[in-house]
Structure 1
Amino acid sequence: MSQESENSIFVADEAAMVAFGHRLAQVVEGGEVVFLNGDLGMGKTTLSRGVLRGFGHQGSVKSPTYTLVEPYELDELTVFHFDLYRLGDPEELEYLGIRDYFTDQSICLIEWPERGEGVLPVADLLLNISVEQLGRRINWQPQTEKGRLLADKLKLSDN
């Protein structure tokens, strides 16, 4: 990881993306909603794997493209990894009992959040992943007070 600005970081490869996910895991406390934005192949699931590794998860982390959500029950909390790419209508989330996932004992990582617009809660933090040179640029934007605290912790955690 290098070339960091206020709310942005360059990640050169898959290992750096996992490392940033690990860094995110170190600053969340529970109850956070994080939207992961980026085109196909940008590394959203890789970043999610880094978050889970940061919490000590050793098993596989696959994209929940067909199941929509993959729960990971960890010692102190549950990480829910959503992939809404194949969601036909945001109302389908109501049938999943979507509101039950957003608790103080969970962290929700949501890929393709625009597909759930109108049903999903406001994200605490938006992560936007884009191509830059041969790597990726991750920009983060807080959307709530909790998100502002996360953004500040992310900036400080590299010092």
Structure 2
Amino acid sequence: MILTDERSTENLGKRIAANLRAGDVVTLSGPLGVGKTALARGILAALGHEGEVPSPSFAIVQPYDDLDPTVWHVDLYRVEDISELDELGLDAAAEGVLLVEWPERAGVAAWPYALRLTLDFAEDGARRLTAEVPPSWQDRWPPQ
């Protein structure tokens, strides 16, 4: 899928949000500046969050308890060792939705049932999105 600009990336996030269920994990991979946070921003806005959506690069975990379901926006860019994940308490997010940027920092076995989205740079400032769709998302992907 080609996303032509930041607006189309956020719009895809809004369509994904319409299909989210409690317990879902969506991972967002790709290089710095490719639009992972823009996609998360679209998801959060569609779920009713008003206000800014900062990249959780420094906080690592940014919970949005005001949403139903609760969303935990996680950025693992600064995680250097898998053992650090235990300290984040991500298991508590099982009742809500987990959005994870830089999931590869958690190892290949993390979140085996996640909707895995990868963004990459394309021509003319566009972004290329590829998806690994688990069975739980088969009837929800691609989002309409």
Relative to the length of structure 1, the TM-score reads: 0.83
Supply the distance in 2 between the matched residues of 1:90 and 1:12 (Cα, whole angstroms).
Answer: 34
Q: Report the residue type matching 2:84 in the other structure.
A: E
> Once the two structures are aligned, what percentage of the paired residues are identical?
35
Contact kept? 1:141, 1:151, Cα under 8 Å: no
Residue aligning to 2:28:
36
* Change beyond 3 A, Cα 1:67–1:119: farther
Relative to the length of structure 2, the TM-score reads: 0.92
Residue from 88, 98, 101 that aligns with 1:108: 98
Supply the distance in 1 between the matched residues of 2:9 and 2:92 (Cα, whole angstroms).
Answer: 29
Alignment partner of 1:15 is 2:7:
yes
Q: CA RMSD in A?
A: 1.5
Q: Report the residue type matching 2:13 in the other structure.
A: G
Supply the distance in 2 between the matched residues of 1:75 and 1:66 (Cα, whole angstroms).
Answer: 22
> 1:56: how far off?
1.6
More strand by proportion, 1 or 2? 1
> 1:150: how far off?
2.8
> 1:118: how far off?
6.0
DSSP-derived class of the 2:10 partner: helix
Contact kept? 1:125, 1:150, Cα under 8 Å: no
User: What count of residue pairs does the alignment treat as equivalent?
Assistant: 143
DSSP-derived class of the 2:140 partner: helix
